[in-house]
Structure 1
Amino acid sequence: MDGTGADFTRLWTCTRGKMLEQKRFDDPEVGPVSLRMQAFGVPAAPGQELVV
């Protein structure tokens, strides 16, 4: 499936941006780690999220 297909477009329009956030961790082996993420709710699958 690519970003130009009808299936992709149909499925992508079912998502909604839910949150954009940054998390920071202090890992004892690698040190500080900072991650940015965005979570999307998926109306077709209640309770499920896609985290990018």
Structure 2
Amino acid sequence: MIGEVFAGGVLQEAVKRARDRSVTTRFILDRLKATIDSITPLLLQIDKGQ
């Protein structure tokens, strides 16, 4: 679980840094972040259930 949290943090930091590269990159990364944000609570619920 700690590894997944760390990887998620690293990914989100990379997204923050890459957003300023272009409008297209910003759009793609914003959608990726929204997807990650929407599935993270579900993954945490699954993790707690096991």
User: What interval of TM-score do these two structures reach, taking the shorter chain for normalisation?
Assistant: under 0.3
Choose between structure 1 and 2: higher strand proportion.
1
Is the helix fraction higher in 1 or 2?
A: 2
Q: Could you tell me the TM-score, scaled by structure 1's length?
A: 0.26
Higher relative contact order (CA 8 A, sep 6+): 1
- The normalised TM-score by structure 2 is 0.27
Higher Cα Rg, which structure: 1
